[in-house]
Amino acid sequence: MNRNELELKVQENSGFTSEVFFEMLRFFSGLEEIDCGIIDIFYSFALKSVHTKFAYERLESIHEVALNLYEKSKECPSKWKLDFVEIYYYYFIDSLTEVLRHANRILTLNTEGVDKCGAYSFAIMVFFRHKMFNQATSYIDEADIYLKNNTSNLKGEFQLLINELGIYAISHQHKKYIATKDRLDSLMEEFRINDDYKMEVDFYNLHTLYGKVLLRDQFALDENKSAKEFKEILADLRKWKDIGENYGSLLTPLFDYFKDYFKKEEFIDEISHVITYNMNVNERLVLFQYLFETIKIDKVTYHDIYESYVENLLYYYTNTQKNKSSEILTEILNFSLEKKLDVLNAKYHYDTLTGCYNRVFLSEIEEQVLETGDVVIYLDLNDFKKINDTYGHDTGDKQLKVFAEILMRHFENDVVLRLGGDEFVVLTRGVPEDVLAKLDEARAEYLTHNLLKNRYGFSAGVLLPHGMAVHQAIGEADKAMYDSKKTGLPCIIREV
Flag whether pLDDT at 98 surpasses 90: no
Task: Return mean pLDDT, the chain.
Answer: 81
Per-residue pLDDT of 387-401, as tens digits, reads: 888 888 888 999 999
Flag whether pLDDT at 29 surpasses 70: no
Nearest alpha carbon to residue 84 among 128, 127, 116? 116
Contact 184, 162 (CB under 8 A): yes
Flag whether pLDDT at 320 surpasses 60: no
Residue 243 banded pLDDT, cuts 50, 70, 90: low
Flag whether pLDDT at 43 surpasses 80: no
Dist. CA 147–CA 336, nearest whole Å: 21
Please list, in sequence order, all residues whose beta carbon lies within 8 angstroms of the beta carbon of residue 115, skipping any fewer than 6 positions away: 80, 84, 106, 156
Per-residue pLDDT of 60-90, as tens digits, reads: 777 777 777 766 666 677 778 778 878 887 8
Dist. CA 147–CA 161, nearest whole Å: 10
Its pTM surpasses 0.85: no
Handedness of CA 472, 417, 164, 87 (dihedral sign): negative
Dist. CA 186–CA 213, nearest whole Å: 22
Q: What is the DSSP letter of 14?
A: S
Q: Please report the pLDDT score of residue 7 as a whole number.
A: 62
Dist. CA 417–CA 404, nearest whole Å: 9
Flag whether pLDDT at 344 surpasses 60: no
Return the SS3 of 44: helix
Dist. CA 102–CA 91, nearest whole Å: 11
Per-residue pLDDT of 157-172, as tens digits, reads: 888 999 999 999 999 9
| Terminal C-alpha separation, the chain | 63
Q: What is the DSSP letter of 321?
A: P
Query: 113: number of CA atoms within 13 Å, CB side?
Result: 6
Dist. CA 343–CA 157, nearest whole Å: 16
**Measured torsion, CA atoms of residues 214, 220, 225, 229, in degrees rounded to the nearest 10:** -40
Phi, psi of 323 (to 5 degrees): -130, 135
| For residues 178-192, average pLDDT | 87
Dist. CA 459–CA 37, nearest whole Å: 52
Per-residue pLDDT of 191-223, as tens digits, reads: 777 667 788 888 899 999 999 999 998 888 899
| Structural domains in the chain plus CATH codes | 337-495 (3.30.70.270)
Residue 322 banded pLDDT, cuts 50, 70, 90: very low
